[in-house]
């Protein structure tokens, strides 16, 4: 078998744990339809669905390929090269892992690394596969085109760099799985770019700093040839400090700050069509809800309240807390077409509210306390199965996990951790339809389905370092059972498996289609190396860059 190709069969009801770097976490594109419950083996074998579909565009560069069959196949006729993926640009074959799931009758190809952006790929499905009645499936070919996706920013250590400037600049991931510096925006220092999380018309907008322009708006397509200053809003070295990049109504919005005034701007992607919309103090927290752009802002007479953008400018949604004190809305979490947030009103003090962009509604007082009696401290907000998961302190039980369906009756404390004195949660992560979190008070890892009965203890630990989800399970950095390192859990009680102890893990963060790890390197004092992991020892690897640098740290 070609060493670049790997195959794994997944029998019914089995759990596959692929080994090696080839099986790292990827975001799969959903298959159009599922198998029927009544398997019919009397007809010819056919392909029921494929993903990505023929001639599809804007396909995620982290996508898996899947082929679903009409009936069970004879796995003895399945070859390691039954699916081949080739770049239409270079003609090169993309290596990866081929797996078959008998339960869903689905053959999946997982590329070893993220695909190139804006690139057409050809899928070649070989002939020769049969079902158990030896019905032969013919060869098929189809193509798809990937979307435009570069967004990872790296930090690195200047002192260890010899041939390259390694200050904080914009980096990205190439087709070969290596990192490269997109642009050295500030050649003599760090440009300290903001993480470009918002893509608008296939381009990423972010802020970066130079001596000549200060901190201003930049734009990139993820390549060195198209990374440039978009607009020097405050000309010269004085910064406009752009932030809050948000797409709404097919326009890009962002805010700037100058002399204590925040300005909301909009553009269609052309610097010539950059337009100031409204000005307020403390204008921030841009959210798109139900087709409306909502933000918080300060006025002297009303304090900080919620506003909505209109054709004429902006208008206050509601003066929840009349007078100059304001309601101080936030934090925020969108759940469907409702935006949830904490705010202070005249009657209830701190409470949970929601808005559809047109009106504001009280969801629950939560603590039933009068104004000024108690700080609710809503935090850890997460959209969960059409409801809001959050933590709050009701003044009686300490900080505990709560759930809300948007009504007073449906806003309840899920369970009471550390009775009477909850200290809050760490690392709230949703995975496979449940929420996992670490309890600060008693050093326990829990999971919940949003009910008291469905809140289950998974494991206890001595020291918590973080948690991330992967396709193989939950990757956890902790000391437990007297051992320190990275653990893998399938979300069942006492199922943690220690898989990595080679270096000290200091933090976990999201990497490209995998989990990123900050680790201390014992060979070099005061430096860090960056690893990626899929939850296996074989799949935990140190990352190289095109310049041969081994210590870029993602921001």
Residue 19 lies in a domain: yes
Number of domains within the chain: 1
Is the confidence at residue 515, as pLDDT, over 70?
A: no
Averaged pLDDT for residues 55-67: 87
Residue 260 lies in a domain: no
Query: What is the CB-side half-sphere exposure of residue 370 using CA atoms within 13 A?
Result: 0
Q: Cβ distance 397 to 434 under 8 Å?
A: no
Residue 142 lies in a domain: yes
Question: DSSP assignment, residue 93?
Answer: B
d(CA 97, CA 113): 11
Helices (H) and strands (E) in the chain, counts: 0, 47
Residue 52 lies in a domain: yes
| pLDDT tens figures, 387-399 | 999 999 988 898 9
Residue 80 belongs to domain spanning:
5-146
Q: Cβ distance 177 to 152 under 8 Å?
A: no
Question: In the prediction, which pLDDT does 181 show?
Answer: 79
Residue 28 lies in a domain: yes
| pLDDT tens figures, 413-468 | 999 998 878 788 988 999 888 999 999 878 899 999 999 999 999 998 878 888 88
Residue 279 lies in a domain: no
d(CA 239, CA 235): 8
d(CA 178, CA 198): 23
CATH code for the domain in which residue 124 is found: 2.60.40.1220
Residue 90 lies in a domain: yes
User: Phi and psi at residue 10, in whole multiples of 5°?
Assistant: -110, 105
Average pLDDT, the chain: 81
Please give the helix or strand (H or E) that residue 460 lies within, else none. Answer: strand 456-460
Q: Which residues pair with 478 in a beta bridge?
A: 464, 485
d(CA 466, CA 118): 34
Is the confidence at residue 405, as pLDDT, over 60?
A: yes
d(CA 405, CA 364): 11
Q: Cβ distance 517 to 531 under 8 Å?
A: yes
Cite the DSSP H helix spans in 468-514.
none
- Closest among 20, 12, 2, 9 to 538, alpha carbons compared: 20
Q: Which residues contact 526 (CB under 8 A, 6 or more apart)?
A: none
Question: In the prediction, which pLDDT does 94 show?
Answer: 84
Question: In the prediction, which pLDDT does 154 show?
Answer: 52
Is the confidence at residue 118, as pLDDT, over 80?
A: no
Residue 500 lies in a domain: no
């Amino acid at each position: 078998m070609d060493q670049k190709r790997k195959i794994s069969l997944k029998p019914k009801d089995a759990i596959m744990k692929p080994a090696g770097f080839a099986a790292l976490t990827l975001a799969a594109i959903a298959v159009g339809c599922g198998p029927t419950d009544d398997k019919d083996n009397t007809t010819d074998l056919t392909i029921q669905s494929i993903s990505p579909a023929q001639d599809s565009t804007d396909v995620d560069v982290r996508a898996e390929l899947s082929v679903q069959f009409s009936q069970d196949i004879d796995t003895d006729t399945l070859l390691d090269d039954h699916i081949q993926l080739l770049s239409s640009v270079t003609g090169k074959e993309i290596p990866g892992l081929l797996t078959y799931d008998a339960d869903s009758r689905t053959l999946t190809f997982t590329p070893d690394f993220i695909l190139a952006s804006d690139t057409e790929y050809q899928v070649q499905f070989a002939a020769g596969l049969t079902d158990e009645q030896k019905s032969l499936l013919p060869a098929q070919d189809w193509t798809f085109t990937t979307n435009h996706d570069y967004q990872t920013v790296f930090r690195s250590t200047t002192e260890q760099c010899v041939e390259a400037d390694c200050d904080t600049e914009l980096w990205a991931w190439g087709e070969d799985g290596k990192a490269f510096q997109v642009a050295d925006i500030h050649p003599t220092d760090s440009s300290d770019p903001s993480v470009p999380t918002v893509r608008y018309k296939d381009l990423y907008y972010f802020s970066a700093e130079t001596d000549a322009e200060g901190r201003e708006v930049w734009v990139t397509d993820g390549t060195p040839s198209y990374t440039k200053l978009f607009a020097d809003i405050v000309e010269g070295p004085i910064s406009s400090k752009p932030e809050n990049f948000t797409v709404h109504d097919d326009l890009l919005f962002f805010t700037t700050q100058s002399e204590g005034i925040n300005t909301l701007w909009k553009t269609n992607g052309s610097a010539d069509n950059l337009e100031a919309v409204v000005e307020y103090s403390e204008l921030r927290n841009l959210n798109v809800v139900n087709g409306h752009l909502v933000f918080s802002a300060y006025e002297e007479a009303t304090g900080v309240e919620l506003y909505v953008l209109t054709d004429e400018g902006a208008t206050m949604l509601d003066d929840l807390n009349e007078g100059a004190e304001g309601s101080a809305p936030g934090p925020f979490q969108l759940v469907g077409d409702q935006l949830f947030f904490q705010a202070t009103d005249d009657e209830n003090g701190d409470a949970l509210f929601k808005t559809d962009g047109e009106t504001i509604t009280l969801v629950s007082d939560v603590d039933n306390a009068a104004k000024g009696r108690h700080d609710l401290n809503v935090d850890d907000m997460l959209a969960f199965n059409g409801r809001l998961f959050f933590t709050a302190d009701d003044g009686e039980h300490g900080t505990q996990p709560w759930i809300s369906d948007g009504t007073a009756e449906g806003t309840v404390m899920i369970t009471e951790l550390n009775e009477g004195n909850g200290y809050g949660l760490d690392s709230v992560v949703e995975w496979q339809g449940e929420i996992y979190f670490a309890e600060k008070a008693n050093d326990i890892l829990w999971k919940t389905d949003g009910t008291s009965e469905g809140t289950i203890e998974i494991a206890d630990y001595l020291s918590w370092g973080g948690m991330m989800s992967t396709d193989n399970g939950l990757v956890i950095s902790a000391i437990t059972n007297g051992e320190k390192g990275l653990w893998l859990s399938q979300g069942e009680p006492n199922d943690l498996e220690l898989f990595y102890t080679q270096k000290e893990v200091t933090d976990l963060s999201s990497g490209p289609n995998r989990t990123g790890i900050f680790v201390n390197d014992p060979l070099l004092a005061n430096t860090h190396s960056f690893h990626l992991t899929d939850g296996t020892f074989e799949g935990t690897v140190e990352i190289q860059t095109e310049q041969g640098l081994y210590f870029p740290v993602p921001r």
